Copies of this chain bind each other. A is one copy, B any other.
């Protein structure tokens, strides 16, 4: 089970996302989790899942799996592979790895059958609504034009997030909405939670940071601040 609020760190395919550097970022995330209790998920490249998952105790997700069953599929990354390597969830349909509509449903259902957490990435409120009908565990709304910009969707286009949350409430309120694209600071995380999402999906803001741990720490503290306010 993934607690919320949640900070999901997508390592993408950066040079910093492999080998020692990959492991260091993952361990920094674990340290912050142990320090703050805030749920953090790391999403390393497929080749790094086994090394990361055997080295840390926080959840490790896969960035993508191919919509195929085990068999004669040279070069494919199956759900069985990432699960075996230690992944407990996966991103589906990231804007850099878009999928066919029919395959998205297949993967969401297969993830559930395999006890893997599914995070479906979408780009607009209407597509988020479509995604809700497919019943993933999480929907991550990321306007592609903001990804990697450092301009948080929560500030640049709050209405995209609000409309996404609204449409999900109408179509399938069981699905939790996460805010992606342009998240780089604790303030961005706080703003995302204020827009009624349950967390953030981010990448370069942490992976390309000079001090990844410091950024993750700041984000986790923003989560604590938000939680204290709503409890208070």
Chain A positions within 8 Å of B, measured between CB atoms, are 10, 12-15, 17-19, 45-51, 63-64, 68, 70-78, 80-82, 84-85, 91, 93-105, 122-124, 126-127, 129-135, 147-148, 167, 171, 203-204
Cβ-defined partner of A98 (8 Å) among B15, B64, B101, B147: B101
Work out how many copies of this chain go into the complex.
4
Would B72 and A97 count as touching, CB distance under 8 A? no
Is the beta-carbon distance between A71 and B12 smaller than 8 angstroms? yes
A-B contact pairs, 18 of them (CB 8 A): A12-B74, A13-B68, A13-B73, A15-B80, A17-B70, A18-B80, A19-B84, A46-B47, A47-B77, A72-B96, A74-B95, A74-B97, A75-B77, A95-B102, A99-B100, A126-B134, A130-B134, A133-B167
Tell me which residues across on chain B come within 8 A of A133, comparing CB atoms. 126, 129-130, 132-133, 167, 171
B47 & A13 in contact (Cβ 8 Å cutoff): no
Q: In angstroms, how far is the closest chain B Cβ from the Cβ of A52? A: 10
- Closest CB-CB distance, A125 to chain B, in whole Å? 9
Judge whether B13 and A70 touch: CB under 8 Å: yes
Query: Once bound together, how far apart are the Cα atoms of A14 and B85, in whole Å?
Result: 15
Q: What are the residues of chain B within 8 A of A132 when measuring CB–CB?
A: 133
Q: Which residue of B lies closest to A20 (CB)?
A: B84
Note all chain B residues with C-beta closer than 8 A to A100.
98-101
Bound: A128/B130 CA distance, A: 9
In the complex, the answer to whether B84 meets A97 with C-beta atoms within 8 Å is no
Query: In the assembly, what is the distance between CA of A99 and CA of B127, in Å?
Result: 13
**Which B residues are CB-close (under 8 A) to A102?**
95, 98, 122-124, 127
B126 touches A105 (CB 8 A): yes
| Cβ contact within 8 Å between B48 and A51 | no
- A72 partner residues in chain B, CB cutoff 8 A: 12-14, 96, 147-148, 203-204
Q: What distance in Å separates the Cβ of A134 from its nearest Cβ neighbour in chain B?
A: 5
Establish whether residues A74 and B91, one from each chain, have CB atoms under 8 Å apart when the complex forms. Answer: yes
Q: Report the Cα distance A78→B45, complex, angstroms.
A: 9
Kindly list 4 other residue pairs between chains A and B, CB separation below 8 angstroms, not including A98-B103, A101-B127: A47-B82, A64-B75, A102-B123, A127-B134
| CB of A29 to closest CB in B, whole Å | 17
| CB neighbours of A46 from chain B (8 A) | 46-47, 75, 77, 81
